[in-house]
Structure 1
């Protein structure tokens, strides 16, 4: 989505209205078919809709499109402009999905706009669904967004919860996929997002993790359980990072200490100190790239804020990557005043130069080839030993949420400058790539065909980053 106030007003509301959760700034649609779940595949990139070439287009690719659009399963993957020839750019070619991806942009493909096709080869999809709106059957509540919270299902005209007996990451993966919320980061148990009310509808849920519909998973009969609401199951998905709370610490000695303020509904506001503790502070420090938490002062230690008190009763486990993943009251509901504004003191000072690492050649600044700045020059990283632990550190350093994958073999194209690092070995808890073990600078023995890449869950150019302009 273009970062101008005028275009943001046009495109962001449209995309939010369609409820497209894309994992990036590119939108997706099916056109010229009988309904919105069948038609020619079109993607939005660089301010313009364009088509997809049918080279290698198959049912795995179609499955991802149908899942992303909430259109059920893929019935067919048509080539040769089965729903008519498009116009404008042909944006994607050589698309190759495994079929389990949550969004099309997680699949491999040639660089945007690179192809040897014409519109006679436009790809199409027919999904099992019709796209007709219906009552939602699955939701996450009690978190700070639709992609983190207590799992609730709709049955017999009533919302109810899911018991955490045998609840694990495979179950959470299906929930995240069905809700269009990316991949599952955790599957909290013991009512981490608060006790639900009403029936406990499901117990002993046992998903393989590959299902496209949560209700395909084995479980006890509806309403049959031996649980109470203290065992309500929860889920945290990767997309909760991309819509995470804009956050800052103000009126302190540096950017890593001060009064906690969050941005919501076009306005900065504070956080009440009810229940505020070091676990909550740890999440704030982690999200801001400020190291560990040293203190969580209550009672407006850094002065009273003004405006709204947005959050109250925040209750983080301490392991979350963003405040949006923590349990809290709904936005704006509190019984506080600004004398109770919460604060944080982090161990870091925020003076680290975050621009010493970047991702280039991808669809946005949270996915691409890894480049590091050394000796006054940008260079790449060799993929020897490159894995998800390394990618986690890069995503954390860039404020891009969770790591989705760690592509190798110059997936995002070959660099041209020095290969600065090789055999990088991160534990995954480091706050910057330079804290990880590696060979000495410039000692690589690699070629640019081995350049490492990273795909993070977040995208700082999403509509959420434009709220202040709307």
Structure 2
């Protein structure tokens, strides 16, 4: 077995990946597929394999090159599989007139990149006796029973697998690059670029299906590898020794090169903040969109490779100023302000704005149509990109254990009535001794992300509530609904409209930093990483008024950060649903879980 001659190949192939920080400089590209035709669409799946050395690209001689080497090379380029070279592709071999370099490589198929294979050297003087260059026909495929969560970019995040009609995580015990290679190919990407055994992408309350996963590296899927099933108690605690919410198998996969990014951030305080400009039909311009949200900003930051989006920015031409922007009318350094795209709508999972719904701009004189209405002056949009975000996750077992029906006279609920915490029918009742039926529930929300959860509004915009004698920093931090089990229509809802964010409880190694002061103090609300904000069932307004709900079977739904005003690592875990039975005296909930985790 031979290793690479480092004084040559460390220049040609090898590069190290430091800890995951955005934005990061583009990695050196030392391996590529040269398409047969220059106008071939990206990503290139077939073509000549080329390596970069001393400022030039060279094709690789196919002597001693086999399927195993092809598999590793395609994985290195971001593709999970390959197919035999077709006769039409073979015909291009005769048309090359570029230098070929010989490279003696022997791979065993488990490597994550070509530089890990055994090789003697890259030779620039020895002839390529076959006279033929390596052609690759790499293939893409869809993910099968596996997905990633909480990653900022395509091909990264926490690993989740499907089992028993439910998505669950993989414990990071024994997790290594070979197992990550199998997972990446199963996901439809190439081989693994990086692997993590900690909470790199935040912690997770999800069920855990597998632990001690051990792969050779050539398996088709993780379940072909050796593994064990941990003993799972519930969404929050794992009874399996050594497997906790801090030990989540995570990875970064090699993904195909999608080429030039037709997007940019301009006129901000640095290159991760600013107005979004895009190139449409070879013309750079701005986006006009009245409905610009965090979903669209997430896609922008992902497409740029700048991580997550923490803010979606919007400013009208007539207002001129924005906290993150310079004078809008003075934006000339990055080109004009012509609108080239409007009415953008994304679900937040897209890899580029081209995959979102968009429309060409509409202009009538000096009026722009930006999606919602005609307006004087365009509504320009922007984004703030970041390395880290919070991630709200509900303590599901505590929710299940807290459910109770309470009966209270209306005269005891005057403060709650002032805050609209009762059903609409309560407004028409004059008898203060009339009884309201209240479904009480505890909502204990943990921040399992990588950044503190802070109110969306600035402290000067918070509301002082005299009844509770503190500031409420979020109008809608959580929403509670009871839905029909047949039609899924809402039959009752919680009307708690204001929340005061604080660190109610923290993990043993974390000190609380935020509190809900009973003084006019606006400066100290939030939820620290590793802490929870608990709204216990006995708190005022911590209920759903079910006075008008008949007996029957229903669905209880709790939605965290329902309008997604505060950006999170993963919003798919924000909606929790339970089966609920109610007989006008008692209520029982069961089978509570994250809706997006059910298959």
Q: TM-score, normalised by structure 1?
A: 0.37
Structure (1/2) with the larger helix percentage:
1
Question: Which structure has the bigger radius of gyration?
Answer: 2
Task: Flag the structure with more relative contact order, 1 or 2, with Cα contacts below 8 A and sequence separation at least 6.
Answer: 1
Structure (1/2) with the larger strand percentage:
2
